[in-house]
Amino acid sequence: MWNSAEIESLNQNFQVMSKLNKIARKSTWVDMTAFVDVSFLILTFFMLATKFKPPEVIKIDNPKSVSSDKVDDKDVFKVSFDAEGRVFISFSSDKDGKEKAQLTAEVLSRQKGLALTPAEISTFIKFSVGGIGVPVEKLKSFLALSDAEYKTYKQPGIPVQDSSNNQLDSYINALLTGTGGRKPANVMLNGDNGTKYPYFKNVLAAFKKNGIFSFKLITSLEGVPSGTPLYKKQNTPAK
Amino acid sequence: MASIEESGGGGHKKGAGVKKQARKDARVDMTPMVDLGFLLITFFIFTTTINSPKAFKLNVPDDTAKDDEQTEAKASGAFTVLLSKDNNVFYYEGQLASDGSNFKSSNFKEIRAEILKKKANTPEKDLVVIIKPDETSVYKNVVDMLDEMQIADIKRYAVVDIFPGEVELIKATQGSTAPPAGK
């Protein structure tokens, strides 16, 4: 790489430099190396310890609970309801979730005579990650929206108000018909603090009607109050 | 990059020029790198989430089960909690007295002590907590109360529809004590 003449000239330069440095005025140069080290350490921490926020179409403020179980993100069927009582369904973005979203769309299209095209079904799969909350009869026009329009469109929510028109039941029924009765591994309910109880009851009713009795409620963690039976249980070593 | 230019340039210049060039040291200006580093940190802080949500397991009974298969709750071991608007909590032990004399008002802070008292005074196999949210209660109340069941380590509890008589009692209580008992 370097020939001997160049090395010679460099050596001379260094000698000149070392002599000069002794008399040169103090430099205002700050050594940033440590700063860079720290900043990249923090950067690495954030990259490893966090994950990206899912696209938020629905604003939901979860209640707190003492439960500390992790939320699975594989094969999820999630029903969300916000403070206004709008109900949304969503599927996880992994292979199982996409497959179930596709089956749901196909069966729903057949059962309700929506005649969804393959393109609309793939839009359904795409939108289902963020959440779908439209009545069955509006589904076709909803699936014509572009990605940008989807983000700004205020979805009315799936009607669950009365038992005669509980359309969440139709969606769940389509899902289970599509999979041949195979239930998603994780059925999750993602509710807002301010949702009125009747909406929650109707969501449960739609699930019960389709034979799903086991759920995971999405909550954020809070500490177990000390002195309570659960606290004692957790803090006594297992026999 | 800088060092190559230095040595190349140093050869051509003479006198003062040589000295000037030589004074430059091999340190690299890190400021843009720091800028970039912190820009990326800011980006990650804003776009990511640290506290991942937790799952709270809930199993509900099958309503369609035949009457004779339904578990009968022993009246003496029952503890009924009613949830209403503005985070109001009402409760009664056993069966509701016809005159409503054992119908008491409480709140989310105090109900835990009542549940624990009931738990201590009742044989474990008889104890069952019945949660009855009314139409005006919110999802948070229900989850909080289910959470209380976890905290108090109650094995048997159920979420049940409220009776019209109980709704009347709640209304009467809320009406009489105009500012809800928020002690």
Angle A122-A124-A128 from CA coordinates, rounded to 5°: 125
Query: Given this model, what pLDDT does residue B13 score?
Result: 45
Residues B87, B90, B93, B97: what is their CA dihedral angle, to the nearest 10 degrees?
A: -160
Distance CA B51, CA B146 (A): 22
What string of pLDDT tens digits covers the 239 residues of chain A? 556 666 666 666 655 555 555 566 677 777 888 888 888 898 888 888 777 766 666 788 888 888 888 887 788 888 888 888 888 888 888 888 888 888 888 888 888 887 788 888 888 888 888 888 888 888 888 888 888 888 888 888 888 877 677 888 888 888 888 888 788 888 888 888 888 888 888 888 888 888 888 888 888 888 888 877 788 877 776 54
* Contact across the interface for B45 and A46, Cβ inside 8 Å: yes
Query: Given this model, what pLDDT does residue A6 score?
Result: 67
Q: Which of B34, B59, B135 sits opposite A35 (nearest CB)?
A: B34
- Can you tell me whether residue A184 is helix, strand or coil? coil
B chain contacts of residue A215, beta-carbon cutoff 8 Å: 57-60
Cross-strand partners of A52: B48
ipTM over 0.85: no
* Contact across the interface for A220 and B51, Cβ inside 8 Å: yes
**Mean pLDDT of chain B, nearest integer:** 75
Distance CA B156, CA B57 (A): 14
Cross-strand partners of B48: A52
Quick check: B81 pLDDT over 60?
yes
* Contact across the interface for A13 and B6, Cβ inside 8 Å: yes
C-alpha closest to that of A155 among A98, A89, A107:
A89
Q: How far is A163 from chain B (nearest CA, A)?
A: 15
Q: Can you spell out the DSSP letters for A24-74?
A: SPPP-----HHHHHHHHHHHHHHHHH-EEPPP-SS---PPEES--EEPP-S
Cross-strand partners of B131: B81, B159
Q: How far is A34 from chain B (nearest CA, A)?
A: 10
Q: Can you spell out the DSSP letters for chain B?
A: -HHHHHHHHHHH--THHHHHHHH--S----HHHHHHHHHHHHHHHHHEESS--EEEEEE---TTS-GGGSPPPPGGGEEEEEE-GGG-EEEEESSPPTT-TT-EEE-TTTHHHHHHHHHHHS-TTT-EEEEEE-TT-BHHHHHHHHHHHHHTT-S-EEE-PPPHHHHHHHHHHHHHSSS----
Give how far Cα A126 sits from Cα of A101, A111, A150, A237, Å: 9, 21, 11, 47
The letter for the amino acid at A193 is: N
The letter for the amino acid at B149 is: M
Name the more confident of B6 and B127.
Answer: B127
Query: Given this model, what pLDDT does residue B179 score?
Result: 47
A chain contacts of residue B139, beta-carbon cutoff 8 Å: 63, 81, 191-197, 199-200
- Crossing angle of the two packed helices B31-47 and A33-49, in degrees rounded to 10: 20
> How many residues are given for chain B?
183
Provide CB contacts within 8 A for A153, sequence distance 6+: A142, A145
- Can you tell me whether residue A156 is helix, strand or coil? coil
Quick check: B10 pLDDT over 50?
no
* Contact across the interface for B25 and A220, Cβ inside 8 Å: no
Please tell me which residue of chain B has the smallest CA distance to A21. Answer: B23
Cross-strand partners of A190: A80
* Contact across the interface for B19 and A16, Cβ inside 8 Å: yes
Give the A window 27-86 contacts with B, CB below 8 Å. Answer: 29, 31-33, 35-36, 39-40, 42-43, 46-47, 49-53, 62-72, 81
Name the more confident of A146 and B17.
Answer: A146
Distance CA A202, CA A219 (A): 20
C-alpha closest to that of A186 among B50, B55, B61, B150:
B55
* Contact across the interface for B60 and A215, Cβ inside 8 Å: yes
Candidates B30, B51, B56, partner chain A, best to mutate (most A CBs within 10 A): B56
* Contact across the interface for B52 and A70, Cβ inside 8 Å: yes
Q: How many CA atoms lie within 13 A of A117 on its CB side?
A: 5
Number of Cβ pairs < 8 A linking chain A and chain B:
194
Tokens 């926020």 sit on residue: A53
Give how far Cα A6 sits from Cα of A130, B2, B8, B11, Å: 62, 15, 9, 10
Query: Given this model, what pLDDT does residue A153 score?
Result: 84
pLDDT in tens, A91-141: 888 888 888 888 888 888 888 887 788 888 888 888 888 888 888 888 888
Distance CA A174, CA A58 (A): 23
Distance CA A95, CA A101 (A): 10
Q: Which of B33, B40, B51 sits opposite A36 (nearest CB)?
A: B33
Is the minimum CB–CB distance between A17 and chain B shorter than 8 Å?
Answer: yes
Quick check: B97 pLDDT over 50?
yes
Give the A window 102-141 contacts with B, CB below 8 Å. Answer: none
